[in-house]
Amino acid sequence: MNTSLSDLKLNLIHYFTKINNYSALKDFEDDNNVFLVSQKNRSGYKIIRIISGDINAPNTNVDIVKNIVKANKREKIIVLNLVLVPNSSLFTSSQDNIYLSSFEDARFKLVYYFQDIKNYVFFTEEKSSQSKIEEKNIYVGQEKQITKNGQDKLREEFINFSKKLQVNTVTSKIFSVWFCFIPTALLALFYYGKSQGFFPMVTDLSTADVFFTATNRTIFLKAGQYWRIFTYGMSVFNTGYSKGGNIIYAIIDLIIVWIFLPILVKLVTGVSSKNKFLLTFFTSYIFLGLFFSLVFTEYVFSGVFIVMSIIIGQAFVVSIHTEKSVAKTLLKRKLITPTILIILISLFAGDYQDIIGIMSGISVGAAMCHLMNYNYEDLNYMIIPSLLTVILFLATIIASFFFIKYSPPKSQYLIYGLSQYAMLKFYSVSQLNDIYSNIGWNVKLMSSTGNNPIYWFVVSY
């Protein structure tokens, strides 16, 4: 008896869904394609595609269905294509592409993959109408089960991910100490030291910024304070730097970082590898530290907002590439508020270096995260923006050694901040004056002799 291709198609759908626990994806079906999926089938094929037409015809649903069944983004999914043709003898089947034209054909060629098909009783042509009803019931039942399973899976994923966010991990604790507690302690130390007269030269937040943590080419190279590439993210003095700083800005900065930084860290490490997150962050942090310390002679860079912007850049990339739908949604939601807040506060304060620092942090954080998590076995044009970002920053750093020769204008914040080191005996007065001269400033710090020397500045013209 000749087998019609429609009967063959219906029988195959029935066999795979009833006997082998595959699920029919009705939403991705068209006249020529039916997709059947299974996560636990022993055949090794998570997807079976039944094709009633040209196997080479483009079908965008193939990649979508692959992404649905992937356990992780690097898993390679192979599709078993069953191509229904009037005469299979005219075609050559391969391991993943099998041409079928009859029940006997299917039983003979598929037994290698599914041994129980040899005992399966196919519907006859007379029962085709009943098989159509059966197919409809299969689809309805499977869709209900898929929907229920999908909802249960999302609910479980949401509960598990929410539990992760409630736990203070070692990584989140380290970041809270380094970039939340230390900036708070430095702000308290500044006001306590100011009230007790410990830091007579450090009279405002901008000078405190230079004294404690900030970096630029003048501080890093001319003053020789090379540790600044590690400390520049550990303060809240910088917002409103050009106006001497502002305690209200500093408190707002602290509130934002205490609220959002631990959450962002837990979100990213909850989705991606903790080790990759740490490697990406500290590579970006030190790379940006070198950039700020070598390229800018006048603008001063520091602040926890740069740290947050690096993590925001990382989180943005992770939210795009994660396969976990709940994590993707939460990441995107949690990114919006801190990103808007740090940009608005910096704009309101009116300092260009804050905006430059934030934009640089987001750009480098995203680029480094993309490059360090990229699957280099599958190269494509998507890597180009990240490569260009890193190359542009690196080229600017290298160019700074050859083209930046001028002396910055005198800054009272830098002069007072550096002079405090001499008063604390970190530099001698003569060493500090050599630094001023090396910078190109006609300023000298003078001091009297004795146990309690008096200090004053002399400016030559």
Same domain, 339 and 426: no
Do both 150 and 29 map to the same domain? yes
197-246 pLDDT per residue, tens: 888 889 899 999 999 999 999 999 999 999 999 999 999 888 777 777 78
**For position 49, what pLDDT does the model report?**
92
Alpha-carbon span 343 to 222, nearest angstrom: 31
Q: Rounded to whole angstroms, how far apart are CA atoms 78 and 93?
A: 16
Are 196 and 341 part of one and the same domain? yes
At residue 27, φ and ψ (nearest 5 deg) are -65, -20
Q: Are residues 153 and 195 in the same domain?
A: no
pLDDT classification of 327: cutoffs 50, 70, 90: low
Q: How many folded domains does the chain comprise? A: 3
Burial class (CB in 10 A: 0-12, 13-18, 19+), 68: middle
Q: pLDDT at residue 152 above 70?
A: no
Residue type, 161: F
Model pLDDT, residue 67: 78
- Quickly list DSSP for 322-390: ---HHHHHHHHHHHHHHHHHHHHHHHHHT-HHHHHHHHHHHHHHHHHHHHHT--GGG--GGGHHHHHHH
Q: Note whether 193 and 98 are same-domain residues.
A: no
Q: What is the pLDDT of residue 333?
A: 77
Q: What tokens were used for 171?
A: 């990584």
Note the residue count of the chain: 461
pLDDT value, residue 143: 47
Q: Which one of 112, 145, 162 terminates a domain?
A: 162
Same domain, 201 and 348: yes
Q: Are residues 123 and 197 in the same domain?
A: no
Residues 178 and 309 in one domain: yes
DSSP 14-53: HHHHHTS--EE-GGG--SSEEEEE-SS-TTS-SEEEEESS
Q: Are residues 376 and 423 in the same domain?
A: no
Residues 190 and 131 in one domain: no
Q: d(Cα 27, Cα 207) in Å, to the nearest integer?
A: 64
Name the helix (H) or strand (E) containing 99. strand 97-100
Range of the domain at 425: 412-459
Triad 191, 193, 198: Cα angle to 5°: 155
Domain boundary (162, 185, 216) is at 162
Tell me which of 162, 188, 207 is where a domain ends: 162
Helix or strand or coil: residue 189?
helix
User: 80: helix, coil or strand?
Assistant: strand
Q: What pLDDT is stored for residue 153 in this prediction? A: 54
Q: Are residues 108 and 251 in the same domain?
A: no
- pTM recorded for the entire structure: 0.67
Q: Same domain for 371 and 454?
A: no
Is residue 128 predicted with pLDDT exceeding 70?
A: no
